[in-house]
């Protein structure tokens, strides 16, 4: 791997991290729930980019198509139907900040103490290999996932129909 491609990879990582963390902050802090849902979509896109950088290209594609493309869009359009509500429990803000910092430190320390490899090359795995494993070994969870995705469609239709009989 050349020096320029390494710098490019790091630049991509920093850009995607900026998108993911920045839009996560917007999602939590913005006054309007619709913008919050849109910012969640941006975070999902940033996380999908980081997945692709790790080498999980088709998981990133699935995340973009199913999660960002369908689910978060469904959430954003549903939120439009609701009136904006006043927002925050201000007396809990200091407690929430302290607990968030503690959670952040705990996760980093816990995962680092697992003693796994620190440097990792992007994973190389074929779609055929993954598809065969999914169909041969994990067919039952696959059926559950298909049924679950079908429920999204039914729920969406139910919400769209409302009280109409």
Footprint on residues 112-151 left by another protein (CB under 8 A): 112, 114, 116-123, 125, 129-130, 133-134, 138, 141-142, 144-146, 148-149, 151
- Show the CA angle centred on residue 41, arms to residues 37 and 42, nearest 5°: 115
Q: Are 63 and 50 in contact (CB under 8 A)?
A: no
Q: Least distance to another protein from the beta carbon of 127, Å?
A: 10
Q: Least distance to another protein from the beta carbon of 85, Å?
A: 5
Q: Tell me which of 79, 136, 139, 165 binds another protein, using CB under 8 A.
A: 79
Cα–Cα distance for residue pair 16/4, rounded to 1 Å: 18
Please tell me whether residue 42 binds another protein under the rule CB under 8 A: no
Of 55-74, which residues contact another protein (CB under 8 A)? 55-56, 58-59, 62-63, 66-67, 70-72, 74
Handedness of CA 44, 46, 47, 52 (dihedral sign): positive
Please tell me whether residue 96 binds another protein under the rule CB under 8 A: yes
Q: Tell me which of 4, 44, 164, 165 binds another protein, using CB under 8 A.
A: 44
Cα–Cα distance for residue pair 163/159, rounded to 1 Å: 9
- Which of 121/164 has CB closer to another protein? 121
Q: Tell me which of 7, 8, 15, 104 binds another protein, using CB under 8 A.
A: 104
C-alpha distances (whole Å) from 57 to each of 13, 53, 65, 95 are 15, 8, 12, 38
Cα–Cα distance for residue pair 33/83, rounded to 1 Å: 9
Residues making up the chain, counted from first to last: 165
Please tell me whether residue 2 binds another protein under the rule CB under 8 A: no
Cα–Cα distance for residue pair 87/36, rounded to 1 Å: 12
Q: Tell me which of 2, 4, 85, 113 binds another protein, using CB under 8 A.
A: 85
User: DSSP label at 116?
Assistant: -
- Which of 4/90 has CB closer to another protein? 90
């Amino acid at each position: 791997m050349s020096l320029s491609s390494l710098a490019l990879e790091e630049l991509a990582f920093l850009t995607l991290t900026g998108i993911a963390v920045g839009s996560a902050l917007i999602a939590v802090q913005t006054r309007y729930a619709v913008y919050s849902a849109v910012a969640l979509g941006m975070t999902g896109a940033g996380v999908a980019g980081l997945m692709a950088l790790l080498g999980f290209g088709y998981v990133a594609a699935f995340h973009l198509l199913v999660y960002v493309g369908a689910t978060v869009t469904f959430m954003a359009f549903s939120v439009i139907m609701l009136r904006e509500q006043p927002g925050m429990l201000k007396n809990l803000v200091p407690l929430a900040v302290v607990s968030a910092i503690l959670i952040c430190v705990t996760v980093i320390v816990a995962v680092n103490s697992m003693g796994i490899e620190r440097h990792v090359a992007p994973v190389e795995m074929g779609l055929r290999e993954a598809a065969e494993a999914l169909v041969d070994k994990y067919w039952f969870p696959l059926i559950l996932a298909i049924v679950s995705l079908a429920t999204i469609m039914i729920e969406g239709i139910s919400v769209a129909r409302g009280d109409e009989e």
